[in-house]
Structure 1
């Protein structure tokens, strides 16, 4: 019996730490056909395009390694991809998947540094989020890219468009 008290304390600490997520999901753009399973499978083969505040762009795969696939269609918005913008944003916008620089201009909003990200079905935003993240976390792409994937899929999973249908189809 004496071993239960430390275990309960550790479980409470883990639960408290796990609820401290600063991400805000934007799910209004999710459509009926945007299922968790569909986008989980597609994201396995999609580039994650990271835009830094200075305009530098890096592209990663779903595991956070350098992208080795095709890059055609990334600049003009004709390819499926995940767009990730680092900077100072009020919130994720519906224009993040447009091939214009309008999303970059929003990076100068007042407030603490954050990230906004979206799954882009070509020019359409499927789901997006904003997330406050420390630079050291963001710099470790092999850790942060899977978080981006998880948050975007969670947004699809939690969206009203998926109700009352099953979560996985």
Structure 2
């Protein structure tokens, strides 16, 4: 293969690799102007991540993926700030993911299409959410996956129209 052909193919390979890694779909319409990246990055340091596993078990972890050592009061009725994460096969994050009683979003994808939906919950209000395709080995590492959940949720706030200097009016 000539150097010229490599120069043409190189950028195509790069674009393909980058697009393959971008499986998350952010839902940012619920972000308000008061929901800043810095505010929620700080709050997430002391919020539980409630991970609803496919087998029906619930894991409570902190922002580092370690077992949650804080209070569990208010988690069942949705009266505390938290991050809700559902593992399974879902079409999209549900608008009611943060409302009590907690119910998993409705399935909408074939059983072989594992994904995760997650949201920052300011009590019963969804701040930002996303849907992300995921491999089982990544789900097995809570520290690795919680870091991804945190990153995607904060990215959603950062990229939202509400965070533009002069929000667009439609």
TM-score of the alignment, normalized to the shorter chain, above 0.5: yes
Aligned counterparts, 1:18-167, within 5 A:
18-19=18-19, 20-102=21-103, 104=104, 106=106, 108-111=107-110, 112-164=113-165
* Unmatched runs of 5 consecutive residues or more in structure 1: 1-8
- Describe the superposition over 1:111-153 as per-residue Cα deviations: whole angstroms up to 9, x where unpaired: 2110000000000000000000001001101101010000000
On the 8 A contact 2:94/2:105 being kept in 1, the answer is no
What TM-score does the superposition give when structure 2 sets the normalisation length? 0.84
- Describe the superposition over 1:79-120 as per-residue Cα deviations: whole angstroms up to 9, x where unpaired: 100000001100011111012243x251x3232110000000
- What is the SS of the residue equivalent to 1:59? strand
Q: How many matched pairs?
A: 156
* Unmatched runs of 5 consecutive residues or more in structure 2: 1-8
For the aligned residues, what is the CA RMSD? 2.1
What TM-score does the superposition give when structure 1 sets the normalisation length? 0.85
